[in-house]
Amino acid sequence: MKLSGNTVFITGGTSGIGRALAEALNKRGNKVIIAGRRRALLDEIAKANPGIDTVELEIGDAAQIREVAAQLIERYPTLNAVINNAGIMPFDDAGGPLDDDQAAHLVNTNLLGPVRVSAAFVEHLKQQPESYLINNSSVLAYVPLAATALYSATKAAIHSYTLSQRFVLRNTSVRVLEIAPPWVDTDLVHKSGDPRAMPLDAFIAETMTLLETATTEVVVEAARPLRDNAGPNEHAFVEQFNQLILDNPIPIE
């Protein structure tokens, strides 16, 4: 992927990986538009980063996604990159009662959100000489964290959907990429400074380097052991991984 001269739309761009990617791409000479739910935070980011534009968007609202996409395509006719980054990560209990409202909200945000955003922009992207659809999944797509079972499942679904997108768009100008982060120290769950989490600045630096030559996916070195786990031995690895997390809990307060 060329790293300058693009017009990039990023969902979930007000914090964590989304904001850091937006700032890095802005510094590289791209026109960046970020979406988020909170106007005050969007204004704060725009003020701190001259050149970044903002738009309010509730990623769980299908009609609003279509409306915002139409507005952005009209305002930025050279828009050629969409990064599906917005997501939430609630804890759940796959062995207990279901919080149905939370589950529906999670699936609507993490799975249907990116699917709807992609659909809203894809015909426009096909008209660009060189364009990109980038989906932010997770290494939990390959090795699920039992304490966030449904979140992990949505990320596995995004990985699968990305594979299909890449195939069906293979004869167009749209390149489909997947970023699969490891545990990065952001406020997605709780920013803690835990040494097991990859520092955000290090993750962004390595990701930007990998994006430049990526044709399918971006997996930083720290995430490779989990990404490479898929295969006949994955069941034992998942057991070991989750037992390790259980024995060394992630701080949530």
Residue corresponding to tokens 């299909």: 164
Sheet hosting strand 217-218, strand order edge to edge? 53-56, 31-36, 7-10, 81-84, 131-136, 174-179, 217-218
- 76 catalytic residue (yes or no): no
Question: Which string of b and e fits 70-87 if b means at least 16 CB within 10 Å?
Answer: eebbeebeebbbbbbbbb
Angle of helix 149-168 versus helix 113-126 axis, rounded to 10: 20
The CA–CA distances, whole Å, from 145 to 126, 185, 217, 223, 224 equal 36, 16, 21, 14, 16
Instruction: Write down the catalytic residue from 76, 132, 142, 151.
Output: 151
Residue 10: which H helix or E strand, with range? strand 7-10
CA distance 145 to 151: 9
**DSSP string of 116-172, one letter each residue:** HHHHHHHHHHHTSSSEEEEEE--GGGTS--GGGHHHHHHHHHHHHHHHHHHHHTTTS
- Catalytically active residues are 151
